[in-house]
Amino acid sequence: MTPQSMMREKSRYEIIFAGAGGQGLILSAIILGEAAIREGKKVVQTQSYGIATRGGLSEAEVIIDSEEIIFQQVQNPDIILAMTEGAFEKFRGLARTGALIFYDETFLEGREGNNLCGLPFTRSARDLGHGGSANLIALGAIVAGTRVVRMESLAHIVTETFPPGTIEVNMKALRLGENLITSQPFKD
C-alpha cells in the first residue's frame, strides 16, 4: 500500500495521540489542530494525562471537520499514534475497526497486522541528535501518510510555534517523519 492510499480523503478525522507524559503529544495535537484551522477547517483538541505528568499516561485528541463539531470527544478514531507499549495495548483493538495505528517501533518491535504502521520515531530523533523531537517526526509521518492536513500548513505552524534557534532542527524532524513514510510504505 502506498502512503497516498493509506486513507481516503474525508471531511472529518478523529485522531488520538497517546504515550507518556513529556513526549510532546499534546503539543503535537495542538500543532495539527492549528494547521487544520489554517486550512479553514473546524477543530476541537482535548487532552488528559495522569497524576504524574512526566512519564504517566498522556493522551490528546483532535477532531478535524469541515462542518461544525457538536460532540467534542473522539468516538471512532481514524488515526492513532501510540508512542508507548501501554498506549499501543490500549488502542490496538481499534485497528480491526479500521483505525490506522502508527506506533514507535523503537520500543514496540514485531507488531504485525492490518492498519499498523511501525516506524522508528524515537530512534530517528536520537540519530538526528535531538531526542525530544520524536513527536514531530511522528507528526510528519502521520500527515505524509494520511494527508489529514497539507504538509505545508503543518510546516508553517511549526515555524511559528518554536523559538527561532530551534526551527531548523524541528523542521528537519518534520521532514524526517515525512521521509520515513515515503521510504517505508504502510503495509496491510
d(CA 11, CA 116): 22
Does 4 fall in a domain? Answer: no
- What lies within 8 Å, CB to CB, of 29 at 6+ separation is 15, 17, 45, 47, 60, 61, 62
pLDDT at 55: 62
d(CA 33, CA 43): 6
On the 0-12 / 13-18 / 19+ scale of CB atoms within 10 A, 178 is buried
Predicted local confidence at residue 34, as pLDDT: 97
Question: What is the residue range of 154's domain?
Answer: 10-181
Tell whether 156 is covered by a domain: yes
Q: Is residue 3 part of a domain?
A: no
Q: Is the pTM of this model over 0.85?
A: yes
Comparing CA positions, the residue from 137, 130, 140, 86 lying closest to residue 108 is 86
Q: What is the rounded distance in angstroms from the CA atom of residue 143 to the CA atom of residue 154?
A: 8
CB 128 within 8 A of CB 176: yes
Report the sign of the C-alpha dihedral through residues 33, 37, 38, 39, in that order: positive
Handedness of CA 56, 57, 63, 64 (dihedral sign): positive
Q: Does some domain include residue 5?
A: no
104 domain residue, yes or no: yes
Give me the number of domains the chain comprises. 1
User: Is residue 38 a part of any domain in this protein?
Assistant: yes
pLDDT, tens digit, 9 for 90 and up, residues 100-144: 999 999 988 778 888 999 999 999 999 999 889 999 999 999 999
| Residue 160 located in a structural domain | yes
Q: Which three cell numbers stand for residue 28?
A: 503535537
| DSSP state for residue 50 in the 8-state scheme | -
List the CATH number of the domain containing 162.
3.40.920.10
In the chain, what percentage of residues exceed pLDDT 90?
A: 68
In a domain, 187, yes or no: no
